[in-house]
């Protein structure tokens, strides 16, 4: 029997949460909830729904709650990728129910799914409610739509020399000269003036290619070239680190 994990982006659509688990029964469900304390009118009802859901399924499905700021894209992105990284070897299949949750969290889930072996699905409700005295935006369920993933990591993740240079970058910025020195030091390369100039020329070529892929930014400040990762670059850097 397939051992599966279902990641559920928590919101107010009770029927859509239950139906996803009914159609694709998981061994474990990870419920991703909002950690935002500044909007209790949204957070508190979600917490109540989460508690009720756990109470209902705890005898048949293992559960775990992970909290994330629904309005911080980077936090959503890296939290979801961390969840998958920690579980990808433990389960035969991982799915994400994107029927609920903030749009920022859903967007992060869609991006993550293009780099990791996961499936996305969306539960179509029977009707939408006017949230006056009803605690759920929707009720009932009509069907499940499986969404495609494109496995684009092979197109974006750098290889060979670009990969070596890219892997030396951190989440802050670094000067061009310091990057060359760092690369050489880690590989035991002794630099003289000629070798430094040759390496800088080679680095600049590959950095331009990385910039064209949208993985890094290069900016001149006080007559120095500084390199930093873009949001995409930070994510790809994390994916590469996990693969290695």
Domain extent, residue 180, equals: 155-243
Kindly indicate the confidence band of residue 135, based on its pLDDT and cuts at 50, 70 and 90.
low
C-alpha–C-alpha distance, residues 32 and 84, integer Å: 12
Mean residue pLDDT across the chain: 84
Percent of the chain with pLDDT over 90: 32
3-state secondary structure of 62: strand
Give the residue from 118, 151, 184 where a domain finishes.
Answer: 151
Give per-residue pLDDT as tens, 110-132.
988 888 889 999 998 877 666 55
Same domain? For 216 and 236 the reply is yes
CATH number of the domain enclosing 208 = 1.10.10.10
Same domain? For 145 and 25 the reply is yes
Q: What is the DSSP letter of 148?
A: P
Same domain? For 24 and 98 the reply is yes
3-state secondary structure of 139: strand
pTM: 0.68
Give per-residue pLDDT as tens, 24-67.
899 999 999 988 776 666 677 888 888 999 999 989 999 999 99
Determine whether 115 is exposed, middle or buried from the number of CB atoms within 10 Å of its CB (0-12, 13-18, 19+): buried
CB atoms within 10 A of CB 127: 8
Kindly indicate the confidence band of residue 170, based on its pLDDT and cuts at 50, 70 and 90.
confident
Number of domains in the chain: 2
C-alpha–C-alpha distance, residues 179 and 240, integer Å: 19
Least confident of 134-143, 160-169, 213-222: 134-143
CATH number of the domain enclosing 9 = 3.40.50.10770
Q: Which two tokens stand for residue 41?
A: 């009118």
């Amino acid at each position: 029997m397939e051992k599966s994990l279902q990641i559920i982006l928590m919101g107010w659509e009770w029927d859509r949460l239950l139906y996803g688990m009914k159609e694709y029964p998981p061994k474990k469900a990870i419920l991703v909830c909002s950690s935002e304390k500044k909007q209790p009118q949204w957070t508190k009802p979600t917490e109540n729904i989460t508690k009720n859901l756990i109470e209902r399924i705890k005898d048949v499905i293992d559960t775990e709650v992970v909290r994330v700021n629904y309005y911080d894209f980077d936090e959503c992105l890296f939290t979801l990728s961390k969840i998958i990284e920690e579980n990808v070897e433990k389960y035969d299949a991982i799915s994400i129910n994107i029927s609920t949750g903030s749009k920022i969290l859903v967007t992060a889930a869609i991006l993550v799914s293009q780099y990791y072996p996961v499936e996305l699905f969306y539960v179509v409700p029977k009707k939408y409610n006017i949230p006056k005295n009803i605690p759920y935006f929707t009720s009932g369920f009509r069907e499940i739509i499986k969404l495609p993933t494109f496995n684009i990591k092979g197109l974006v993740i750098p290889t060979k020399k670009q990969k070596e240079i890219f892997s030396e970058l951190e989440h802050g910025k670094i000067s061009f000269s310091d990057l060359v020195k760092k690369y050489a030091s880690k590989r035991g390369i002794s630099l003289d003036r000629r070798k430094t100039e040759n390496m800088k020329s080679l680095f600049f070529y590959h950095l331009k290619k990385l910039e064209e892929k949208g993985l890094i930014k290069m900016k001149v400040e006080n007559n120095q070239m500084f390199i930093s990762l873009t949001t995409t670059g930070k994510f790809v850097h994390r994916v590469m680190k996990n693969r290695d």
